[in-house]
Amino acid sequence: MKMLITGGAGFIGSNYVHFVRKNHPDYEIVVVDKLNQQGNVKNLDEVIDDIEFHHFDLIEEEKLRPIFEAGLDYVVHFAAETNVDRSIEDPDSFVMSNVLATNILLRLSRDYHVKRFHHVSTDEVFGSLELGTNDRFNEDTPYDPRSPYSATKAGSDHLVRSYFHTYGLDVTISNCSNNYGPHQVPENIVPVFALMALEEKPLTIYGDGKSIRDYLFVLDHCRAIDLILHEGKAGESYCVGGGEEKNGIEIADAILAITERPENLKTFVRDRPGHDRRYAIDYAKLARELGYKPSVTFEEGLQQTVDWYRNNPDWWKPYMEKFYVPKFLQEDTEKLKKS
């Protein structure tokens, strides 16, 4: 079998490359990644000699087409612009990467008879849930995206389904909750808080800190994707969750406890515009039909994640030299530096 993994040098994509290399050693793996702020070819150091790696943007169709001409069995599509704050500042790049590039991949997959196209999406396409309820997103939840990021992911989901219904392309979709784990760049809450704590710097919590996310350890997500790719039903979507709902304060407290740092590092800043209050995933369909269940508790996964950052400063220090601060927080951040 030959597999194209887009965004395979990114956080989730690189973890999946390693997963496939370990669990399907006979597979040929082709990775395409444009190496934006989320991608790092060092994530593939251990397997780089065993895979075919290409550095270019997926919208460069003239570079992508020869890979399809050489023959592919599977396409697993991770590549996307993913940071909500960046999408608020630059929606155009999210439309290009998340919608236009996905359409190019789908069209080539159709034209070159790919056996299955799996699209990796997000629970953010479903909008927001109310705090204090037991509601959870599932495969029948109506789409209600609230940010340019989630809107472009919703658009790409609809494109994938259209290729199934219109052209008969074998597709599957997964909508996952918040991933965390090794190799995640410090633009998401877990790596940001872990690195801030390790360096004894303020952990900036948005708003009241009570917005809730469902946390999924990245290797559990990789297992779920692999199950869907090989055993999922064509044309179906599957929600993937970790069953671990935490708010920002709880994440900060857990990381401060692991790193043995003082609680006064918690610092509250203004809230993100349009900040969704709660995400939660019902993964009953995936459990019932494909036998999925998370294997790593939040406590275990968070300990493994913090340990990885503690032991790999050469990997994360370059990111800290150009640490991304959303525009709406830059004034607050300058005040923190002076205080």
The angle subtended at Cα 185 by Cα 182 and Cα 186, nearest 5°, is 110
Name the nearest CA neighbour of 150 among 169, 170, 176, 172: 176
> Is 220 designated active site?
no
Catalytic residue among 81, 85, 124, 170: 124
Catalytic residue among 16, 33, 81, 149: 149
> Is 123 designated active site?
yes
Catalytic residue among 123, 187, 214, 245: 123
C-alpha 1/C-alpha 74 separation (Å) is 8
Total Cβ atoms within 10 A of residue 181: 24
In the numeric block, the tokens 């990775």 are attached to 31
> Is 124 designated active site?
yes
Among all residues, which ones are annotated catalytic?
A: 123-124, 149
